[in-house]
Amino acid sequence: MDSTDLEVLKTIAHWQTEGASITLATLVKTWGSAPRPVGSLLALTRDGRLVGSLSGGCIEDDLLEQVRTRTLTLPEKISYGISTEQASRFGLPCGGELELILEPLHAHSAMAELLAALAQNAIVARELDLATGLARIVPADPSESLAVTERALRSVHGPRWRLLIIGAGQLSRYLAEMALALDYQVLLCDPRAEFRKSWPAHLPPVDAAMPDDFVTAQKPDPHTAIVALTHDPKQDDLALLEALKSSAFYVGAIGSKANQAKRRERLALFDLSPEQIGALHGPAGLSIGSRTPPEMAISILAEITAIRHGAWPFQPAERPAPA
């Protein structure tokens, strides 16, 4: 399952093989309430197809009409919702305002180069010259974000967040698929050969390393989440001993509240501080009454997402445990 923006880029590549006339719209600024974040992509063709979204459907019809009726030769900035009439006409929520860059795609738009870099899990920037419409792909840092000036648009692409999964069971499969859709780079390990053999080929491969060695080798940083899902205390605890000493923004493990209490007692026997042990999210996931592996995957990713966006309202001791 691809992320939203990767789906847009892959669809563009397919349309280009058909010789379609394609316009790419990039959301570069928002004011007030905006349903999509800066950097979101929407691609449109002159024959009325589109993929992606910028406003949840408010302005897409108008953009399709512009693509059908205008011949755009160079990138152009346009705004929506600046006036009360526009906000009412396009249904922008709560007076929201959007600024976009419309760009006609051509052989020098570097779209193939961008997709090739993303296939290697690289983090890159696409630098678009607004005066000429020429683009190039250059290396980028995970901390960078979209930047726009009067002369250039620099958009950053690639998985700037990582999810390390310990264990290759059924829950891990759903978690990996959903995390890929959220644009995480997913990395997995499981030293158990029987689990690696049954792992789906369309998902990232499973490393056979021991969990502690795997976590150490990945050098977790503040853009990394780590979840232990083996149900085997020996495997999960090995990973957690290294994960809790790292700067990962989220460390979680599945298991009942009783098992988590025993886990914390075991972890206290090692060189971990009470603060490090207290950072463990266990049981991992929000309390949504989850029963099945897909529901559990949703609850874990919901918790990770809340913490990543600074929307987590509870202190660790107050967190509701999942069913």
- Residue-wise pLDDT for 128-156, tens only, equals 999 999 999 999 988 888 999 999 999 99
| pTM exceeding the 0.85 threshold for the entire prediction | no
Q: What does the pLDDT look like over 55-67, one tens digit per residue?
A: 766 788 889 999 9
Band (pLDDT 50/70/90 cuts) for residue 311 is: confident
Whether pLDDT at 10 is above 60: yes
- Residue 160 · residue 224 · CB < 8 Å: no
pLDDT band at 36 (very low <50, low <70, confident <90, very high): confident
Which neighbouring-strand residues pair with 101? 26, 77
In angstroms, the CA 69 to CA 135 distance is: 25
Rounded Cα gap, residues 263 and 284, in angstroms:
13
For range 72-77, the mean pLDDT = 94
The answer to whether 74 and 130 are in contact (CB under 8 A) is: yes
Q: What is the DSSP letter of 74?
A: S
Q: Which pLDDT value is given to residue 225?
A: 97
Closest by Cα among 142, 42, 146 to 102: 42
Question: What pLDDT is attached to residue 64?
Answer: 92
Q: Kindly list the structural domains of the chain, giving each domain's residue range(s) and its CATH number in brackets, ordered by start.
A: 4-157 (no CATH), 161-318 (3.40.50.720)
State the Cα torsion 134-49-121-222 to the nearest 10°. Answer: 100
